Structure 1
Amino acid sequence: MAHTLKGKLMQRLWFRVSVGLLFLCCSVPTDAADNENGKDLLQKNCGRCHALAAETASPLKEAPNLWIVLRSYPTERLEFELAEGIGSRHKDMPQIQFSSEDIYKIESYLSGDR
């Protein structure tokens, strides 16, 4: 049983890595102003706890780096999660819903090479 569970976990890990690489490889160049606005939106709403740039530690030790997490989402799922409010695994995280314009700006920031 442990061997089967390990295999499933490895499959999920490779799927997430593959999707993340696909997202990175298929990014469209964006306007620098949209990148900065998207970063500002994330900083305002999420930066108190989460890191928002590659290779940066989160202010809250237990909070994952959103740059890494959000870039691994498939585009459709990312848009849905941002519009509906990304679910939390703990009670202190607010559920924030972004507008379509905000989502575009956040996607523009995440697709940039930072």
Structure 2
Amino acid sequence: MRALRAVAAGALALLPCLQAEPAAAWDRQVERGRALARRECARCHAIGRTGTSPLPQAPPFRSLHERYPVDDLAEALTEGIRTGHPTMPEFRFDPDEAEAFIAYLKSLER
């Protein structure tokens, strides 16, 4: 019985460490996505939780999830986003960049 309690106590002691790693990985993804947004998109879009877009017809990123599921952007981000207006440049992210970018967009939903 003592051995079982010792194992349980050890497992409980490790629990915060196990939970911290996924959170830290998520935070790194979000930060990488934020950097991509700042570099590639901030000229036209409001990329943060507040503010207006420099280009009025460019939607703020914080509202994209209200229009459609941001996970649905993954394919478009890696194949090249093309839009109906000529002012948005076509660009492509590699799959890791797209994943980070989507993580950042999701972080704006909270």
User: TM-score w.r.t. structure 2 length?
Assistant: 0.65
Pick the aligned partner of 1:37 from 28, 32, 44: 32
Q: Which position in structure 2 is the counterpart of 1:83? A: 78
Partners of 2:77 and 2:89 in 1: CA distance:
12
Pairwise CA RMSD: 2.4
Point out the structure with max Rg over C-alpha: 2
Q: Secondary structure at the match of 2:51?
A: coil
Contact 1:51–1:65 (Cα < 8 Å) also in 2? yes
Gaps of 5+ in 1: 1-27
Q: What code does the residue aligned with 1:59 have? A: P
Q: Which has the higher contact order (CA 8 A, sep 6+)?
A: 1
Q: What code does the residue aligned with 1:47 have? A: A
Q: What code does the residue aligned with 1:92 have? A: T
Contact 2:70–2:105 (Cα < 8 Å) also in 1? no
- Kindly report which structure 2 residues correspond to 1:1-114, keeping only aligned pairs within 5 A, or say none: 31-69=26-64, 72-74=67-69, 77-112=72-107
User: TM-score w.r.t. structure 1 length?
Assistant: 0.63
Contact 1:54–1:68 (Cα < 8 Å) also in 2? no
Percent sequence identity over aligned pairs: 31
Measured at CA, do residues 95 and 46 of structure 1 come closer, stay the same or move farther in structure 2, by a change above 3 Å? Answer: same
